[in-house]
Amino acid sequence: MELVWPERGLFLLAMTALLINAVAQMAAPFLLGRMVDRMHSHPDELLVTVMQLLAAFVIGSFCVFVRANAFLAMGYRIVTTLRTRLFHRLLQQDIAFYDVSKTGDLTGRLASDTQALQQVLTAQLGQLLSNLLQGIATIVMLFLLSWRLTLFMMTVVPFVALGVSAYGRFVRQLRQQFQHRLAETGAMAQEAFANIRTIKGFGKETLMERVYAERNTQCLHLGETISFATALFQGLLGFVPQVAILLVLYYGTTLVAAGSLSSGVLTTFLLYTLTLAMSLAFLASLVGEFAGALGASARIFELLVRVPAIPPAGSGGVRLPRFDGHLALQNVAFSYPGRPNAPVLEDFTLTLRPGQVLALIGPSGHGKSTVLHLLQRFYDPTRGRVLLDHTCPLSKVDLRWYRRHIGYVPQDPVLFDGTIHDNIAMGWADDEDDMDAGQDRRSGDAAHRRAASVREVTRDAVIAAAQTANAHEFIMEFPLGYDTPVGERGLALSGGQKQRIALARALVRDPRVLLLDEATSALSSDAEAAVQRGVARASAGRTTVVVGHKLSAFKDADRCAVIVRGRVVELGSHDELMDKARTPYGIYRRLIEKQLVSADQRKSVPVSPRSSRD
């Protein structure tokens, strides 16, 4: 009802046209019956009756046009609003929801499920109401003409009602299964397209085709079952009205022969019976469509009413008068929602000091990236807490305000289809955030404070961020510069270029805290050096957390924290952790020594003449 209320004007217009059309439809059989009765007794009135019939047909046709147009427009508007709300609701869900949801299933609900609803609300809702009203009005007219004949004809109605009810339940379940299978198939195709290089690299095109064909065949089998059930139901339902007409003819002729009914009334009754039969047949044909729409709407409203575990950004909360970048994790324990019995962090305590660089080091899968997720409040700890400025729990803070102060560069940065400028500008905070956060920016960033008053980030701010990220030079080498398209997911750029653009995107908002998740782990030496220079510039004056495995990523950090099995086992500066007297069996020192030995071995490998020529 909430979605329909804004379109109440169109709905009232459609219902008015529907009522007038129903009256016109009901008038036609009555006028035809009167023509039969007066054909011989009052032939001079035939022309008047014909003109009345013509007027009824014209008025009815015009009302059909008005009704159909109003319902179509209303349906499109409602579904557009619904699709927008659903997308908004999906964006509000917490990260844990996406951990257990398939992207293809979610896009399927946005596309195919809303399309099923749109089909019903646009083309079929008007037909449903029209035929329903016409059927009710026809039954009333039949009772007025001959209640005996009507009751005799209505003996078939209970069987029709039971059949429609059983068919509706059966088809609704099948439609839900079909939509679910279709979403799974779409998710598989989307995953294949997103990883097409891996598929081709391993020569697995045939395997993916076979898997897709199997899932598509499952959809086909469900579709065939739905088609068979629909055809059987419509065939049986088409037979029932014909039986009803035969009953009317048989019993009606006996009443005419007995003088209880005139020929004109019987003709009118038969025409109304045909009208009722057509209305019931059309309503029956809509049962399957509405059953599918009910299944689709159940999937949609399941998402609309879902409450995220972490309130979405903009839900309100505490906004500190000043945030200097001090963060602390105190006695934190955490397990991912999809793996509740596999703890990632245990009794984890760590402090981020304002303006310092903290490096997180340790084996893969031991909780380093998880720390960054908790600092952004993608998840809440299962035990313990995250504090801002010593006293304020992160769970009480306004997330929109807080994330305005966070810059994040993931290990595998994702760029959006657009230009380099668009991708860097995406990191810019919106007006509301800028106005709220402008008062506590660093005093040296007057240019940023002035830019906060405009709706869109300026080119100068984008260039400044790119220069800090060591990206400006390679961007200007492109013929279109900052207007260069990056392609879908940034495929037109190299790994190092994407990393530096992602770093610029994080810096354009001038964050208090910068989080870097293995930003150079998969890059060549030259690309790594370029990114590291950008990181060094970006870290100046900011609280920075760097996750990495290479010495180059953390040798200049103010402090290094070694994380093993979800706990901080060593903490100190590079020199402190390398001091044999302090850490004779130090994990950090052994890790560094292994890297240095590996580097020396690579340098000592002689270069063959063939490789030198290559």
pLDDT digit string, tens, across residues 469-526:
888 888 899 898 888 888 777 777 887 888 888 888 888 888 889 898 876 655 556 6
**Residue 442: its pLDDT value, please?**
37
**Residue 330: its pLDDT value, please?**
92
Residue 534 has pLDDT above 80, yes or no: no
- Which of 283, 269, 271 is CA-nearest to residue 238? 283
Higher-confidence position of 45 and 408: 408
Provide the terminal-to-terminal Cα distance of the chain, rounded to the nearest Å.
71
Residue 353 has pLDDT above 80, yes or no: yes
Tens of pLDDT along 403-421?
A: 888 888 888 888 888 888 9
Higher-confidence position of 33 and 316: 316
Residue 352 has pLDDT above 60, yes or no: yes
The residue-averaged pLDDT of 267-293 equals 73
Residue 609 has pLDDT above 70, yes or no: no
At residue 350, φ and ψ (nearest 5 deg) are -160, 145
Residue 200 has pLDDT above 80, yes or no: no
Tens of pLDDT along 455-471?
A: 356 888 888 888 888 88
Tens of pLDDT along 291-320?
A: 667 767 777 888 888 888 888 877 778 888
Residue 279 has pLDDT above 80, yes or no: no
- C-alpha dihedral sign at 564, 568, 569, 570: positive
The residue-averaged pLDDT of 168-178 equals 77
Q: Structure tokens of 602?
A: 């690579």
- 471 with 504: CB under 8 angstroms? yes
DSSP line for 427-492? TS--HHHHHHHGGGS-TT-HHHHHHTTSSS--HHHHHHHHHHTT-HHHHHTSTTGGG-B--GGGTT
**Residue 575: its pLDDT value, please?**
83
Quote the CA–CA distance of 173 and 427 in Å, as a whole number.
44
**Residue 192: its pLDDT value, please?**
79
- 457 with 428: CB under 8 angstroms? yes
Residue 152 has pLDDT above 70, yes or no: yes
Q: What is the CA radius of gyration of the chain?
A: 36
**Percent of residues, the chain, with pLDDT higher than 70:** 81
How many degrees, rounded to 5, is the angle at CA 609 between CA 604 and CA 611? Answer: 75
Quote the CA–CA distance of 224 and 241 in Å, as a whole number.
26
Mean pLDDT highest for which of 48-52, 243-247, 286-290, 545-549? 545-549
Quote the CA–CA distance of 224 and 516 in Å, as a whole number.
52
What is the rounded average pLDDT for all residues in the chain? 77
**Percent of residues, the chain, with pLDDT higher than 90:** 5
| Domains of the chain, earliest start first | 5-304 (1.20.1560.10), 325-405+513-522+543-614 (3.40.50.300), 415-511 (3.40.50.300)
Residue 111 has pLDDT above 70, yes or no: yes
| Weakest mean pLDDT among 39-43, 54-58, 439-443 | 439-443
Residue 513 parent element (H or E) = strand 513-517
Quote the CA–CA distance of 433 and 315 in Å, as a whole number.
13
**Residue 381: its pLDDT value, please?**
92
| Weakest mean pLDDT among 156-160, 328-332, 400-404, 482-486 | 156-160
Residue type, 240: V
The residue-averaged pLDDT of 73-93 equals 84
Residue 605 has pLDDT above 50, yes or no: no
**Residue 455: its pLDDT value, please?**
38
Residue 360 has pLDDT above 80, yes or no: yes
- 379 with 373: CB under 8 angstroms? yes
Q: Each residue of 111-139: b (16+ CB within 10 Å) or e?
A: ebbbebbbbbbbebbbbbbbbbbbbebbb
- 153 with 244: CB under 8 angstroms? yes
| Weakest mean pLDDT among 32-41, 96-105, 583-592 | 32-41
Mean pLDDT highest for which of 106-110, 271-275, 420-424? 420-424
| Weakest mean pLDDT among 151-160, 224-233, 493-502 | 151-160
